[in-house]
Structure 1
Amino acid sequence: MHAWLCTEPTGVEALTWTELPTPVPKAGEVLIEIRAASLNFPDLLIVQNKYQMKPPLPFVPGSEYAGRVAALGDGVTQLRVGQDVACLTGTGGFATHAIARAALCLPLPADFPHADAAAFTMIYATSHHALVDRARLRAGETVLVLGAAGGVGTAAIQIAKAMGARVIAAASSEAKCTLCRSIGADASIHYGKENLREAIGALTDGKGPDVVYDPVGGELTEPAFRSIAWRGRYLVVGFASGPIPSLPLNLALLKGASIVGVFWGEFSRREPQANAAMLGELVQWYAQGRIRPVIDRSMPMAQLPAAYACMGSREVMGKLVMVN
């Protein structure tokens, strides 16, 4: 097998395409022949030693991938050799093969392409957990999605629309705003040239959004929170812009608003049955055509450093997918 090996987490430039022995699955594990792996923001942080999870060195980055089961470890009965699966294991995906715990493999229907499957679990599970479980979003409410053209942003737009909400997509370019409207957003804000608070007020008749979905953080957080509706829910999803913002807590008091943390990974660990039910619903929604990953482009696995550079430029819309 071949894999992108990180021997020292000093950045993307430290990764090397390395030939390694193909591993043999242990009890409860499976060997996956990887067909596609998607690039997520944590995949950049982890090779820079900036992610909360610090895997032992050396490691293979790539948190999310899809492929075909090539071998079974002892005791694995829920999967079979030749079955297509999606996996989210935190590491291991940027390779030709990976070992995964069978419990972390999502069996795929026959009409679920590997590229879509590799770009599916993290963004849709995060957005579903945020909007359905944490925000208790109701039909007819208004959702403001920040960073709306990114992976989790595009997923949030689709899920909110599937739930009957009105969606305002905020993004950093007109091209990104156009994409967001094409996948269902009712309105958009180009915050690179528009005043965010003024635009939100105009689009909500001064009421503000009921839910703000924020995977960006930084300088957008305070103006978005100041614009939230009475009893609004502000979803803290991530900090793609880099800085972790601070908020004057009197704003929450004045609006009767909630600041709600979203940590899907911990939810999946603590509440596995609820997580499994959620993933089953998401697969059904995909089959019904209600959600579908936005894939900016697919690139050969050997071009991973170039894909990292694309992601770092903040020009990607949706997801980047590496293919074998």
Structure 2
Amino acid sequence: MKRETAMRALVCSAIDGASVAPGDLPRPQPGPGEVLVKVAAAGVNFADTLIVRGQYQEKPELPFAPGLELSGVVEATGDGVTEPASGRRIMALTGLGAFAEYAVAKQSDAFPLPEEMDFDTAAGFAVTYGTAHGALRWHADLQPGETLMVHGAAGGVGLAAVECGKAMGARVIASAGSPEKLKVASDHGADATIDYRQEDVKTRMRELTEGRGVDVVFDPVGGQVFDASLRATAWGGRLVVIGFAAGEVQQIPANILLVKNISVHGMYWGSNRKMAPQRLAEQFAELFDWYKAGRIKPYISHAYALDEGAQALADLRARKTAGKVVIRP
């Protein structure tokens, strides 16, 4: 990939979590099959906080700009690219580099935006709604009338799961760590809530289902929350593991899976970019239809300038935000 003049970016200069600050990086140029995007906004994800600490699956070469996803306008296209054309409004997956004035994305990772969708919404849309939709549609096979338990329900991916669950016809129970966060989940469609700091999660899940247990669990938290959910899942239930925000990777007792005919699915949505890219276009088509119909309403709680990018990562990691957080270069 050719490089030319400098651009402003949020630069990670060491893998220690603290060496993230505004700076300059070479402005990228699109290679074959790529597009150059003038970034309007970039979504902040929990994975970004892991990447700058060396705790993610990928270890980028230093220095680099974090940022998995963005929205903006196509500035230029590489060889072989006819769509999206220059001037097209898009959202795109980058893996790295979104926290900058310009970024490059593969043609297959760039998706034209509906006219109704603004840049802030689009910047935080792909990863959270893609993950939530994929977990519930592909892995959990969530059906109308089933009960869905969403943990971390006020976070970006959790809130997306609440909305996708409602769009798919489920009854949704949401858990979070404060009344304020539970109100956010309720405002976005949750039928019942659990304050995990004040209530016993397993007991409340059983009470809210009259002892039957929930059909599907969406879990980006892990640890003790997963353990409680496993014991409050109905016969034939499905649990989807999204991540381990609690910092503890649980060990799953296979005897419980056997006795209750429960299945546990891992969901690393980003791997579909390589292994099953056709899935993404199909799911975004459905998600964009839901958005245009008002069935999902993404919530952007905080927008930071590029110079405030390190604070954005810190606030997200400390769970001081709700919904989605974006950075505007």
Deviates more, 1:260-269 or 1:293-302: 260-269
Q: 1:41 aligns with which of 46, 49, 54?
A: 46
What does the per-residue CA deviation read over 1:101-129, in whole Å, with 9 as the maximum and x for residues that have no partner? 12211111222101000010001111111
Return closer, same or farther for 1:281/1:230 CA change in 2, 3 Å cut-off: same
Q: 1:216 is matched with which residue? A: 221
> Is the contact made by 1:116 and 1:292 (CA closer than 8 Å) also made in structure 2?
no
Q: Tell me the SS of whatever aligns to 2:234.
A: coil
The code of the aligned residue for 2:261 comes to G
* Residue of structure 2 in register with 1:267 after alignment: 272
**Residue segments in structure 2 that go unaligned for 5+ positions in a row:** 1-6
TM-fit CA distance, 1:202: 1.1
Structure 2 residue corresponding to 1:94, chosen from 99, 103, 107: 99
Q: Which residue of 1 aligns with 2:130?
A: 125
SS of the aligned residue for 2:189 comes to coil
Q: Which stretch shows the higher mean deviation, 287-296 or 154-163?
A: 287-296
Shift of 1:21: 3.5
Residue in structure 2 matched with residue 8 of structure 1 by the alignment: 14
Q: Where does 1:62-211 land on structure 2 (aligned, <5 Å)?
A: 62-211=67-216
Quick one: distance in 1 between partners of 2:222 and 2:70? 27
Deviations 1:27-70 (A, max 9, x none): 22111110101110000000000000112222110111111111
Contact 2:46/2:317 (CA < 8 Å) preserved in 1? no
Residue 250 (structure 1) aligns with: 255
The answer to whether the 8 Å contact 2:21/2:309 transfers is no
Q: Per-residue deviation at 1:275?
A: 2.5
Which residue is 2:4 aligned to? Answer: none
Alpha-carbon contact 2:188-2:297 (below 8 Å) kept: no
* Aligned with residue 59 of structure 2, among 54, 58, 63: 54
SS of residue in 2 equivalent to 1:231: strand
The structure with the greater share of residues assigned to strand is 2
Q: Structure 2 residue aligned with 1:287, among 270, 292, 297?
A: 292
Cα shift at 1:297: 1.2
- Per the TM alignment, residue 323 of structure 1 is displaced from its structure 2 partner at its CA by 1.1
Partner Cα distance (2:276, 2:313) in 1: 32
Give me the whole-angstrom Cα distance separating, in 2, the residues matched to 1:309 and 1:272.
31
CA distance in 1, matches of 2:237, 2:218: 11
The 1-side partners of 2:151 and 2:27 are apart by 42
Percent of aligned pairs with the same amino acid: 43
Could you tell me which residue of structure 2 aligns to residue 24 of structure 1?
Answer: 29
Q: Which residue of 1 aligns with 2:317?
A: 312
Q: What is the SS of the residue equivalent to 2:198?
A: coil
TM-score (norm 2): 0.95
The answer to whether the 8 A contact 1:64-1:90 is kept is yes
Q: Name the CA distance, whole Å, in 2 between partners of 1:240 and 1:319.
A: 16
For residue 241 of structure 1, report the CA deviation from its aligned partner. Answer: 1.0
Conserved 8 A contact 2:108-2:277: no
Identify the range of structure 1 (162-171 vs 19-28) with the bigger mean alpha-carbon deviation: 19-28
The amino acid that maps onto 1:4 is L
Of 193-202 and 15-24, the range deviating more from structure 2: 15-24
Question: How far apart are the structure 2 equivalents of 1:139 and 1:288?
Answer: 18
Distance (whole Å) between structure 2 residues aligned to residue 187 and residue 208 of structure 1? 14
Aligned residues: 323
CA distance, structure 2, for counterparts of residue 21 and residue 245 of structure 1: 41
The equivalent residue for 2:283 is 278
Shift of 1:284: 1.4
More deviation, 73-82/140-149: 73-82
Give the Å deviation of 1:294: 1.4
Q: Distance in 1 between matches of 2:204 and 2:68?
A: 36
| Letter of the 2:273 counterpart | S
Matched-pair contact (CA < 8 Å) for 2:219–2:243: yes
Deviations 1:208-227 (A, max 9, x none): 10001100001111111100
Whole-Å Cα distance in 2 between the matches of residues 275 and 306 of structure 1? 31
Q: Report SS of the residue matched to 1:268.
A: helix
| Deviating more after overlay: 205-214 vs 72-81 | 72-81
Following TM superposition, by how much is the alpha carbon of 1:269 offset from its aligned partner in structure 2, in angstroms?
A: 2.1
